Chain A
Amino acid sequence: MTYKDLDRGQIVDELLLDAGLSDASDVRQALLAMGQLADAAAPAPGAELAAMLAGPHDEVSKRRWRHKHRTAVVSVAVVAAMGLGASGVAAASSGFTRSPSFEALLGTVAPHRAAAAPALPAPDAPKVSTAPAPSVDPAAIPQPSPVQPTPATMIPIPAQQQAPAASQAVPQTPAGTAPATATAVVPSANPPVPQPAKAVPGAMPAAPTTPAPWLRPGPAGPSALPGNGLSVASEKEALAQLKAAEEKLKQWKKQLKRQDPAQPRP
């Protein structure tokens, strides 16, 4: 029950040795008796000390813990908040900027596009053609057969881009008779408006291919387009608008690219 009696004996012996009194057993006894003072029981803690031993020091330690880890807690909270904010902004921007801005972009172009429509070898054209099929535009009926091959031949676009477009456009023509192709073509004039909106956010390489055919058939198109009764001036106007639209599209894609690296961060 004593604090290391052996220790006390050792200490006393050491003391005696230092003093050259190692043979003085009486002094040794006195010193050991003195050491007994250390064997007093711990006094019952008073109110303040008992509180510290039990309750309030929990508060102290909590406060200390909080103080120690304050930076960590705050940084976790900040990172979490930033993650939420970034992902929220990304989600919001992808939801809002993509479709409406693009539709707005093409809204002005759409009417003219109706004229240039035959040149549109849009990948989604077959899908769309099925739904609005009944709305047949008689004006377009004579056109399709001569026009449809033209995009493949006339558009000066790299072969890989052209090939799928043509392959998708071609099946359309053999699929049906003349009216059938007409129905396929006329609705396809309008669908391109939402269609690039779908294509652009998905894959970047797809974007340049879609607007390109609209532009290229323009200059190449006069052979096909006069049939639609559009003047050369209005055609140029449409082209200018298309180019402007393309510029906007490019800027918008750059923005997207800039946003993209930010998205995976959280």
Chain B
Amino acid sequence: MTDALTDEALHALQGNNAELFSAVYQAYAGQVLGYLTAKGVPDPEATTQDVFLAVLPRLDEINGGVNGLRTFIFSVAHARMVDEHRKESRTPDQHEFEPERDAREASSAEAEAMLRLAPYEVMALLEHLGEEQREVLTLRIVAGLTVEQVAGIMGKTAGAVKQLQRRALITLREHSAVKEYVSP
């Protein structure tokens, strides 16, 4: 999905809720889904929809253009993810993520080639990280947020976020899984 949503486009769509909702959904739903998948949420698609059901009616209240919108969407996604994990911990019967049953496909050939390995390998990669390290990396890379935005969402200082992401990278590098993944 293209992230065609610019500040200008967002402004132009103001007041035209039908198109605004669609544009926002098309622009961010994939990323939210990726984020929730990376965070191991049991039903990422359903949670993605929940996220947008919460976000879309409140688009009017959002300030800060596309950046503000992105932060807001992933704040909601983060909160939903936390909720889902709490729910999961209360009902431990949930199935694990099974990549074989993951029918999602990306559209470009390159992305497809990457994702053929990615879903479970990336997930396996992330398994080696601590919860917060994983959160920082997904928010930074999948959600595409800045250090400050991530800090805002996680309720930490920018310094703490930088520290977390640095440790996460070091962990990844040290872990054998990385080498297995990168040189199959």
Contact = CB atoms under 8 A, between A and B. Distances in A.
A12 to B, nearest CB: 7
A15 B168 CA distance: 10
Instruction: Please classify the interface of chain A as helix (H, G, I), strand (E, B), loop, or mixed, using the class held by over half of its residues.
Output: helix
B162 interface: yes
A12 B115 CA distance: 18
5 contacts: A27-B172, A36-B106, A38-B142, A43-B45, A53-B56
B56 A11 contact: no
Interface of A: 1-4, 7-8, 11-12, 15-16, 18-21, 24-27, 29-31, 33-43, 45-46, 48-49, 52-54, 57-58, 60-61, 64
A262 to B, nearest CB: 40
A26 B111 contact: no
B75 to A, nearest CB: 17
Instruction: Please classify the interface of chain B as helix (H, G, I), strand (E, B), loop, or mixed, using the class held by over half of its residues.
Output: helix
B126 interface: yes
A20 B29 CA distance: 33
Nearest to A12: B141
Nearest to A15: B165
A53 B18 contact: yes
Contacts, number: 171
Interface string B18-61: 10011001100111011101100000011011001100110010
Contacts of B53: 48-49, 52
Contacts of A33: 114, 117-118, 121-122, 125, 181
A1 B112 CA distance: 11
Interface string B120-143: 011001100000000001101111
Interface string B139-160: 0111110000000000000000
A42 B21 CA distance: 13
Nearest to A2: B111
Contacts of B125: 30, 33-34
B89 interface: no
A39 B106 contact: yes
A41 to B, nearest CB: 6
